[in-house]
């Protein structure tokens, strides 16, 4: 009896932690499949592999639908803390080359490296906020890690976005919180069945990281799971907590990361 009570209490506490999100996901927690066209996409990738892991299928899908898509990927850090090479400089160069090859395979040719030291986003959050403020007015769809994602660089990247948005008078913008190290609490699904192979190929270019974790297997498994409640023709989905500007600001503030 005591063991069961502890189990129930643990579940209630875990769910209570995400009460600040429940108002944005609906009472029955059934994420909707996105059918809208996206005219632009700005992807914030804390590390050189995060963008293709979190939303590579989405990038491939919308590039295929619109060859003139306004899409840009920002790599926040240099990725120096994950991988092995003769020197830090060579590892950084390798990770940049992998990122560029991955994006090229998706058809993405607009990207930028901010070169913040891996693990040090929290020390550069003001600089990051200012740099983002110059870009955000050009995009209506921004993809960023879920604020509760299990890596501090991911959390502080999204916190920098939060701070940048507070200083801008733009309202018509949607924030798509993607998942890498921690599952998000999604309200939106994007069907990537037709672009899953492109995503797998893009991830496969990150050989320095695949030596550490088989991201292809793990992430494709997550994408397959996300399609579980949909019809059998939908086999893979990327999941997002999609929020309007004010809702995103509220979620970050209530998450205790602000």
Residue extents of the structural domains in the chain: 37-254
- CATH fold, domain 37-254, is Rossmann fold (3.40.50)
Q: How many CB atoms lie within 10 A of CB 27?
A: 7
Q: 75: which strand partners?
A: 45, 113
pLDDT at residue 21, rounded to an integer: 75
Spatial distance between the Cα atoms of 202 and 57, rounded to a whole number of angstroms: 9
Q: What pLDDT is attached to residue 18?
A: 65
Q: Distance between CA 139 and CA 72 in Å, rounded? A: 9
Task: For residue 120, list its beta bridge partners.
Answer: none
Cα–Cα dist 223/205, whole Å: 19
Pairing of strands 40-45, 32-33: unpaired
pLDDT at 11: 40
What is the secondary structure of 115-129 as a DSSP string?
EEPTT-GGGGHHHHH
pLDDT tens, residue order, the chain (258 aa)? 455 545 444 444 444 556 767 777 766 568 999 998 999 999 999 999 999 999 999 999 999 999 899 999 999 999 898 878 789 999 999 999 999 999 999 999 999 999 999 999 999 999 999 999 999 999 999 999 999 898 999 999 999 999 999 989 998 999 999 999 998 889 999 999 999 999 999 999 999 998 999 999 999 999 999 999 999 999 999 999 999 999 999 999 988 665
On whether the CB atoms of residues 121 and 163 are closer than 8 A, the answer is no
32: enclosing H helix or E strand: strand 32-33
pLDDT reported for residue 91: 95
**Rounded distance between C-alpha atoms, residue 112 and residue 72, angstroms:** 8
What's this model's pTM, rounded to 2 decimal places? 0.91
φ and ψ at residue 208, rounded to 5 degrees: -60, -30
Structure token digits, residue 258: 């602000």
Q: What is the pLDDT of residue 3?
A: 54
List helix spans (H) across 66-190: 88-106, 125-133, 152-166
Q: How far apart are CA 99 and CA 48, in angstroms?
A: 5
Contact 67, 98 (CB under 8 A): no
pLDDT of the residue at 8: 46
Do 63 and 76 touch, CB atoms closer than 8 A?
A: no
Tracing tokens 């020390």 back to the chain, one arrives at: 123
């Amino acid at each position: 009896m005591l063991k069961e009570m502890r189990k129930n209490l643990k579940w209630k506490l875990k769910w209570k932690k995400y009460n600040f999100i429940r108002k944005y996901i609906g009472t029955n927690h059934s994420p909707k499949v996105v059918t809208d066209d996206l005219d632009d996409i700005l992807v914030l990738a804390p590390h050189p592999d995060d963008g293709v892991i979190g939303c590579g299928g989405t990038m491939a899908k919308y590039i295929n639908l619109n060859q003139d898509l306004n899409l840009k990927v920002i790599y926040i850090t240099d990725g120096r803390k994950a991988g092995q090479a003769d020197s830090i400089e060579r590892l950084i160069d390798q990770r940049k080359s992998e990122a560029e090859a991955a994006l090229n395979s998706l058809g993405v040719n607009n990207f930028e490296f901010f070169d913040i030291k891996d693990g040090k986003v929290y020390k550069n959050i003001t600089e990051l906020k200012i740099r983002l403020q110059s870009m955000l007015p050009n995009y209506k769809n921004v993809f960023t890690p879920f604020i509760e994602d299990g890596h501090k660089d991911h959390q502080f990247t999204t916190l920098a976005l939060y701070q940048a948005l507070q200083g801008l008078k733009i309202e018509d913008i949607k924030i798509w919180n993607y998942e890498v190290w921690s599952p998000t609490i999604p309200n939106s699904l994007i069907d990537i069945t037709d672009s899953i192979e492109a995503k797998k190929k893009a991830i496969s270019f990150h050989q320095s990281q695949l030596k550490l974790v088989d991201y292809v297997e793990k992430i494709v498994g997550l994408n397959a799971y996300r399609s579980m409640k949909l019809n059998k023709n939908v086999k893979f989905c990327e999941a997002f907590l999609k929020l309007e500007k004010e809702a995103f600001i509220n979620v970050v503030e209530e998450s205790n990361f602000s």
